[in-house]
Structure 1
């Protein structure tokens, strides 16, 4: 059915069906609200569920407070006076609330919009930070081929499980592509190792041992060395050197 303009009422009013489609609207409604097909289209998203719940034929006459958008896109607080003519059609009278309420609602809408923008910016920044952290993890343990048999993996910064996993993934790929049989891990520049980092480190070293790799850990300070005591190093191809220089000399690698 085509929408018809009803000019008899001094306030915005609508005639709607049970599906919330607009059948008629007053002249004031035409003036103040966009020519939408559905009444729900002029209702703020946060008020839609409220309108759907209360604008039902079983509620014959009632008043509800909702937020609606004007023809200019302004969010205003209104009272909807609803009367059902039958189970199929209802008359809806729109009465604007006090201007102070409207200003508050507009401020809240603007704040909500800014919060949404801020949340989006935070998500973007979080993604950038995660990328940067992953790049940092990748750069923290480069695989350096010293000769046909020996490779060096210098470690930097604090070690946690994420960094160890990143190192392990890259290391296994490099071992597959390289022919080195001996790997030197240089811990000279390592800071703290978290408990989960130690577990990840143990698993990585054990995997390398199972693969037949001989591993030397160099530059481990006393606090970190104490943590290695939990490892069953006697069952692995694992040795320790107090410095990178001594590790290189033990393998006849010249700097």
Structure 2
């Protein structure tokens, strides 16, 4: 386990409910395209890796798939169990999952490679548990991304907040370009064939207070930055946020936040 993996466990510990109320609503956007890329249909044996609040699992069940799910955070496991009663959901973390070789027809990982210290090893593991000819489909946040992705970070920077020392980054040798070409290369290096990655851009609409609620609750790395100096730092960042978010306000009072992700798929 890398320092980044250890940091991620600390970041997400106990944050499942706050995530479900906030950033999960953003991440659900890519689910239909992710399941299409994994060719999920009636009878498909699918593993939802990094299941979070269960959005991929629930959508796959609606297609008639036979779904199992796994997440490194016990709170996320419980959230998916509540969202999809009867589905087998286990605690497990990449790059070693508790499943047999070729056990699944398809594996989907929605915004999971962003949260592992060894992305290539993680993809090799996803290939291992996928049957020959089966599909692996993943999403990552594109970099550079849409301007909506930087809003809270800009507010934190304007408030003078700095990244906590314990908040690790991915080791240099494991970094890959967060672009379609970069994800293509990573999928190919993992031994997958018929690789194809594309950008997906959309506008996420959210109430300004709802969008702030996630970082203020310490959700994700950005949340740990916002809360790094306690309530005083949160209040300072919120003052900056209230000014900066006006750039994205629509006439109905909601924020319109441009985001960009990369969706990649390959065949085992």
- TM above 0.5, yes or no, is no
User: Larger strand proportion, structure 1 or 2?
Assistant: 1
Quick check: which has more Rg, 1 or 2?
Answer: 1
Name the TM tier (shorter chain).
under 0.3
Q: Given the two structures, how large is their TM-score scaled by the length of structure 2?
A: 0.23
